[in-house]
Amino acid sequence: MSNDVELIELEEEEHTSSLTTPVLNRILGLLKPHRKSVVGFLITIALTAGLDSFFTYINKNIIDLAIVGRNYGILWKLAAVYGILQVIQSGMVFTFIYLAGVLGERIQYDLRRSMFEHLQDLSLSYYSQNAVGRLIARVTSDSGRVADLMTWGLVDTTWAFMNITAATIFMLIINWQLALIVLAVLPILTIIAINFRKKILVEFRNSRRANSKITGAYNENIQGVRVIKALGREEKNLTEFMDLTDNMYSATYRAAWLSALFLPTVQIITAIALAFIVWFGGYQALSGTLTIGGIYAFVSYLTFIMWPIQDLARVYAEMQHSIASAERIFKLIDTEPEIRDKPEATEAETLLGEIEFEHVNFYYEDRKPVLSDFSLKVKAGETIALVGPTGGGKSTIVNLLCRFYEPNDGTIRINGKDYKEYTLSSIQRKIGIVLQTPHLFSGTVRDNIHYGRLDASNEEVEEAAILAGAHEFINNLPKGYDENVGEGGNLLSVGQKQLISLARAILSKPELFIMDEATSSVDTLTESLIQQGMERLMKGRTSFVIAHRLSTIRRADRIVVIENGKIAEIGTHAELLKAQGHYYRLYTQQFKFQREQEYSFAKAVPLID
């Protein structure tokens, strides 16, 4: 687990919530689909716990009836019952542990699945507001914690309640006065146990957080060792590191101290109660109202009852954090996607028509205007190049076009109709997109191209790769198309990933093709391969191309220079050069830069013949 995610998790764990009826109902609702196994395992636990107290009762009778009463007949019968019930109980222990394990897995599966499905539906704006690490933490650890509460929490609670109830009943049967003494101690023990548990939990969290920060500091210092040395910051870093270590030491120290104090405290109170029972029970035994077996039973009930109380305290202390987890999960599931189909939305027949941005205004969540009064009309099949300084709004234009976001004002029309009248999926299906940082999924090269159109044949996959200019390098891979690309494609170079994502876009036969700086981080050879693939792809399609290298854009039908969310200039390459405006400056600057580079390269590496 990465350090950041761990820190986020710890931060989220800090939140506690108390149980309210709506949350309780929803949490219990998670059990609904698994009603049968829940009922099954609750009954098994209740019986198991009840038997626990019954065993003490049998032992009491063995002492009183068989041993004190010197009755061999009853002795072997009671021993046989004892043995048989023990075997039955073992079977039940197996059953409920197994059932609880299965149930926990199912609940986690349900939660993760509904979160995953929901995350896929949410609009991009949700992702830009919520750190991805946070989302991962939510899907993994929150669902785990809720599932734990609903299984092991439920096991412990049922077990404890049944144990206490059954013990109480047997104690009342044996001797009600002594039973009242034990019952008086219960609440005291419970309150102490809960308070200790809560404090220990807090200290453990503090120590875990300190530990996590120390790991982070180690990483940073080792990775940044050159910078640290160059700037002479060793001393300062050491001081910071020592502070972290001190924090961890004191948190761990407090946790250890509390843990050590907890059991003796409980034991002292129990001991006082025990002394009372021995004295009062002995007194009653002397006067003949209590048997020896009865004293034995009370001593064991009192010593055993400590454990269910501690279990209850632990579950209770952890429950508040689990409820906070559940609330975070429910909040995620309740988030409505910002972009949804209108009820009367229709399928977009084709995107190969006129596309028009009409007085579009747009801002992201921070409300800083990005596009203002942006208007542009694009004919079917036209290639539009978007150029201009970083942060001008080029990517935003294509984000809007893909309907990852929608305009705040103004309209985007496809075939004359507001694109909000169409279903989202019918638009997005017909768009092929290649981005600056290509994304591959783990699997083979073939799988990754296939992702563009799932019903494509192997021949079509290879055709697409040929068109993209990727076929040659794929064939040179040891396993060709069946080569594994690694997680996120990390076994391939950026250029190779880019060629594969281009092949994927080609396979999907888009009607609208978008490239956002796809050639920015590749070498010149790959760039020219991508360039050729792109040109084949753009034939007969409407395309939007964002690029820094002007050689890529020169052949576009129209070039749009975007500055500060506005169109600074628009026209063909020739027209814009002639106008000697923004584009002319961009072009000549880059041209000059290239020439200088070539010149200095030629000087540095003289040709040898």
CA distance 353 to 137: 44
The residue within the footprint of ligand ADP, chosen from 344, 366, 455, 459 (CB under 6 A), is 366
**From ligand ADP, Mg ion, none, which one binds at residue 364 (CB under 5 to 8 Å depending on kind)?**
ligand ADP
Nearer CB in complex with ligand ADP: 163/395:
395
CA distance 423 to 131: 28
Q: What number of chain residues touch ligand ADP (CB under 6 A)?
A: 11
Tell me the three state secondary structure of residue 571.
strand
* Burial environment of residue 600 by CB neighbours within 10 A (0 to 12, 13 to 18, 19 or more): exposed
Report in angstroms how near the CB of residue 392 gets to ligand ADP at its nearest: 4
**Alpha carbons within 13 A on the beta-carbon side of 605:** 3
Report in angstroms how near the CB of residue 6 gets to ligand ADP at its nearest: 26
Nearer CB in complex with ligand ADP: 362/513:
362
Per-residue contact flags (x/-) with ligand ADP for residues 82 to 121, judged by CB under 6 A: ----------------------------------------
* Partners of residue 376 on adjacent β-strands: 357
128 binds ligand ADP (CB under 6 A): yes
The residue within the footprint of ligand ADP, chosen from 291, 310, 395, 498 (CB under 6 A), is 395
CA 360 to chain centre: 35
* Burial environment of residue 4 by CB neighbours within 10 A (0 to 12, 13 to 18, 19 or more): middle
Phi, psi of 404 (to 5 degrees): -70, -30
Per-residue contact flags (x/-) with ligand ADP for residues 323 to 362, judged by CB under 6 A: ----------------------------------------
Nearer CB in complex with ligand ADP: 128/600:
128
Report in angstroms how near the CB of residue 370 gets to ligand ADP at its nearest: 4
Nearer CB in complex with Mg ion: 514/529:
514
In this structure, the strands spanning 558-563 and 566-571 are: antiparallel
* Partners of residue 571 on adjacent β-strands: 559
364 binds ligand ADP (CB under 6 A): yes
Nearer CB in complex with ligand ADP: 513/544:
544
**From Mg ion, ligand ADP, none, which one binds at residue 370 (CB under 5 to 8 Å depending on kind)?**
ligand ADP
* Residue span binding ligand ADP (CB under 6 A) among the ranges 273-281, 303-311, 387-395, 441-449: 387-395
Residue nearest to Mg ion (CB): 395
Nearer CB in complex with ligand ADP: 255/385:
385
Report in angstroms how near the CB of residue 390 gets to ligand ADP at its nearest: 4
**From Mg ion, ligand ADP, none, which one binds at residue 18 (CB under 5 to 8 Å depending on kind)?**
none
Nearer CB in complex with ligand ADP: 398/468:
398
* Residue span binding Mg ion (CB under 5 A) among the ranges 98-106, 364-372, 395-403, 464-472: 395-403
**From ligand ADP, Mg ion, none, which one binds at residue 396 (CB under 5 to 8 Å depending on kind)?**
ligand ADP
Map tokens 């099949």 to a residue: 381
Nearer CB in complex with ligand ADP: 125/426:
125
Say which residues have a Cβ less than 8 Å from residue 404's Cβ, sequence separation at least 6: 123, 124, 339
The residue within the footprint of ligand ADP, chosen from 390, 454, 459, 478 (CB under 6 A), is 390
In this structure, the strands spanning 355-363 and 369-378 are: antiparallel
**From Mg ion, ligand ADP, none, which one binds at residue 440 (CB under 5 to 8 Å depending on kind)?**
none
* Residue span binding ligand ADP (CB under 6 A) among the ranges 224-232, 327-335, 394-402, 588-596: 394-402
**Alpha carbons within 13 A on the beta-carbon side of 34:** 24
* Residue span binding Mg ion (CB under 5 A) among the ranges 123-131, 185-193, 388-396, 484-492: 388-396
**From Mg ion, ligand ADP, none, which one binds at residue 393 (CB under 5 to 8 Å depending on kind)?**
ligand ADP
Give residues 428-447 in contact with ligand ADP (rule: CB under 6 A).
none
Report in angstroms how near the CB of residue 128 gets to ligand ADP at its nearest: 4
Nearer CB in complex with ligand ADP: 327/517:
517
Nearer CB in complex with ligand ADP: 71/361:
361
* Residue span binding ligand ADP (CB under 6 A) among the ranges 11-19, 285-293, 364-372, 423-431: 364-372
**From Mg ion, ligand ADP, none, which one binds at residue 403 (CB under 5 to 8 Å depending on kind)?**
none
392 binds ligand ADP (CB under 6 A): yes
CA distance 282 to 185: 19
Segments of 325-462 assigned E as strands? 355-363, 369-378, 383-387, 409-414, 417-418, 431-434
> Tokens standing for 70?
């010197």
Amino acid at 123: S
CA distance 512 to 349: 13
- Spatial contact of 418 and 458, defined as CB atoms under 8 Å apart: no
Say which residues have a Cβ less than 8 Å from residue 579's Cβ, sequence separation at least 6: 569, 571
**Alpha carbons within 13 A on the beta-carbon side of 235:** 2
395 binds Mg ion (CB under 5 A): yes
The residue within the footprint of ligand ADP, chosen from 394, 497, 504, 573 (CB under 6 A), is 394
DSSP string, 573-605: HHHHHHHTSHHHHHHHHHHHHHHHHHHHHHHHS
In this structure, the strands spanning 383-387 and 558-563 are: parallel
Q: Return the H-helix or E-strand segment holding 255.
A: helix 234-286
CA distance 69 to 53: 23
**From ligand ADP, Mg ion, none, which one binds at residue 281 (CB under 5 to 8 Å depending on kind)?**
none
CA distances (Å), origin 185, targets 188, 258, 260, 300, 382? 5, 22, 21, 15, 84
Report in angstroms how near the CB of residue 394 gets to Mg ion at its nearest: 5
Tell me the three state secondary structure of residue 568.
strand
- Spatial contact of 141 and 328, defined as CB atoms under 8 Å apart: no
Residue 109 CB neighbour total at 10 angstroms? 12
Residues forming contacts to ligand ADP in the complex (CB under 6 A) are 128, 364, 366, 370, 390-396
Residues forming contacts to Mg ion in the complex (CB under 5 A) are 395
